[in-house]
Structure formats: structure tokens, C-alpha cells
Amino acid sequence: MKTSKKIGTETRAAEQATTIIGIAGGTGSGKSTFTNRLKRAFGDAITVIYHDNYYKPHDDLTLEERRTINYDHPDALDTDLLVRHLEELRAGRAVDCPTYDFTQHTRAKKTVAIQPSRVIIVEGILIFQDARLRDLFDIKIYVEADADERILRRVARDIRERGRSLESVINQYLTTVKPMHYLYVEPTKTFADLILNSGRNDVAFDVMKTKIEALLGEG
Ligand SMILES: Nc1ncnc2c1ncn2[C@@H]1O[C@H](COP(=O)(O)OP(=O)(O)O)[C@@H](O)[C@H]1O
Ligand SMILES: O=c1ccn([C@@H]2O[C@H](COP(=O)(O)O)[C@@H](O)[C@H]2O)c(=O)[nH]1
């Protein structure tokens, strides 16, 4: 959307424009739930990219040492690489996206080829914290959920899917996740165009689905 240039009475560039949608919110708020629902609805017509895949690798450290890293501080992520990748995608070029292994707290070996498209969704807890990312987003959405619900969901998810114990999730939450949330995540809500009450919000999903259909020329 931002690349549109008026040429006479035509807006030619707008026909080719890419719209980048940022979906932020605290851990366990339902960002992935909302994002994945849109991805299921549109398939390859839209591109989804997760900031989580850009956590810095720490292969030089042992797993025990990696468990103690503060993953909720902006410095834990290679946001420079994400910015470069979004610029490439917006220019119509595919990128090789890293993937992340939460059970090992480091990057996985494989990368995934991400194709450009007219609508790109970027999801992550800290994506509105970086001014360069904010500038790239045409639409900014913040998924809201009470802290008690978010931690309960995180406990269940991290034990089920990310190889964690109850004790490790509680300890990580109290030492880094919670303080960083109030320092770096929650304040960025102010940048949002839309604040969603839950990632399982059918009305919000229908609104965004209609918007994306229009952007894709399906409306
Ligand atoms: N509104 C909701 N009610 C109950 N459970 C939810 C809701 N939204 C998400 N969940 C569940 O909570 C967990 C975390 O949701 P997820 O979308 O992964 O959060 P995030 O990406 O923001 O960390 C998942 O297991 C998901 O199925
Ligand atoms: O190695 C890692 C990297 C990240 N985390 C935690 O992940 C969440 C962000 O992901 P959500 O899907 O939004 O929950 C963040 O709060 C980090 O603490 C991790 O535990 N280990």
C-alpha cells in the first residue's frame, strides 16, 4: 500500500502493491491462532512469516546454558534479518527463512523458502517494538488477552509442544517473560490500528478476511 504512486489519474503501482500486516500481542494471547486461521483461509495466496523463527542461534552454548537466556528481550532476535527479508519479499523476491526449535532453544538446521505475495502477515511478540518493522507494516493488529489466561495457555502449550516442565515454565515466566512483557510488549499496543479481544474472535476474523479478499482482488 505504501508504495503506491499517482501516475496521472492512474495508480498503477497500487495494482502491484504489497500489504504487510503485523500481528503482535503477548505470549499466549492467540496471535498464532488468529494468524494460522487466516493462513488456512487463504493458503498460498498470502505469505506468513513468524518473528519467532528469527531468534538468534546459540549453538556455541550448551542446552543448559541456552535455557537461561532472556528470550523476551528484543536483543534475542535477529530483527535485522527479518527487516531485510520483508524488504526482499516486498520487492517480489523469495527468501530463505530460518526455522526454530523451541525444544532445543536454538535454530533448526533447515530453512524454508518463503514466496512473496500481495499480502504478507508478520507475527510476533516484539514486532511493534522495532521502529523499522513498524514502518513496514500497513496494518498493525494487537491481540489482547488477560495475563492469567495467557500464562495458563502457555503452561499447557509449552509442556505439550515445546518440551518444557511446569517448573521451567513458571520460573521463566517470573524471571523474564513477565517483566519483559510489561517493558517491551504491552507498551507497543499503542501503535496498533486494531486491538482484538482474543485470537478466537470470529467477528475480527471475518473483518480481516474481508479486508484481505479486497486486497487480493477477490472482494
Ligand atoms: N481464546 C482462546 N481460548 C482458549 N485457548 C486459546 C485461545 N486462543 C488461543 N488459545 C490456545 O492457547 C495456546 C496459545 O495460543 P497461541 O495462538 O499459540 O498464542 P501466541 O501465538 O500468542 O503465543 C494454544 O494452545 C491455543 O490453542
Ligand atoms: O528458545 C526460546 C525462544 C523463545 N521462547 C519463548 O517464546 C515466546 C514467544 O513465542 P510465543 O509463541 O509468542 O509464545 C517468548 O515469550 C519466549 O519466552 C522460549 O521459551 N525459548
Closest ligand 2 atom to 106 CA: 1
d(CA 194, CA 166) in angstroms, rounded, equals 33
Closest ligand 1 atom to 27 CA: 23
Residue predicted with more confidence, 20 or 219: 20
- Is 60 exposed, middle or buried (CB count within 10 Å of its CB: 0-12, 13-18, 19+)? exposed
Q: Which pLDDT does position 3 carry in this prediction?
A: 44
Q: Is the pLDDT of residue 205 over 90?
A: yes
Range list of H helices, 113-201: 131-136, 147-161, 166-172, 178-180
* Domains present along the chain, CATH in parentheses: 2-199 (3.40.50.300)
Q: What is the pLDDT of residues 78-124, one digit of tens each?
A: 999 999 999 999 999 999 999 999 999 999 999 999 999 999 999 99
Strands (E), 33-102: 46-50, 95-101
Q: What is the pLDDT of residues 141-150, one digit of tens each?
A: 999 999 999 9
Tell which residue, 55, 105, 114, has the closest CA to residue 79.
Answer: 55
Complex-level ipTM = 0.98
Is the CB–ligand 1 distance for residue 153 below 6 Å? yes
pTM, two decimals, is: 0.94
Q: What share of the chain is helix, strand, coil (3-state, %, to 5)?
A: 45, 20, 30
Q: Which pLDDT does position 10 carry in this prediction?
A: 41
Q: Is the pLDDT of residue 9 over 60?
A: no
Question: Could you say which ligand is closest to the alpha carbon of residue 163?
Answer: 2
Closest ligand 2 atom to 172 CA: 18
Q: Which pLDDT does position 219 carry in this prediction?
A: 64
Q: Is the pLDDT of residue 185 over 50?
A: yes
**pLDDT mean over 62-84:** 97
Is the CB–ligand 1 distance for residue 124 below 6 Å? no
Closest-CA residue, ligand 2 atom 6, reads 71
Q: Which pLDDT does position 218 carry in this prediction?
A: 79
Tell which residue, 165, 155, 51, has the closest CA to residue 99.
Answer: 51
d(CA 196, CA 176) in angstroms, rounded, equals 25
Closest-CA residue, ligand 2 atom 14, reads 27
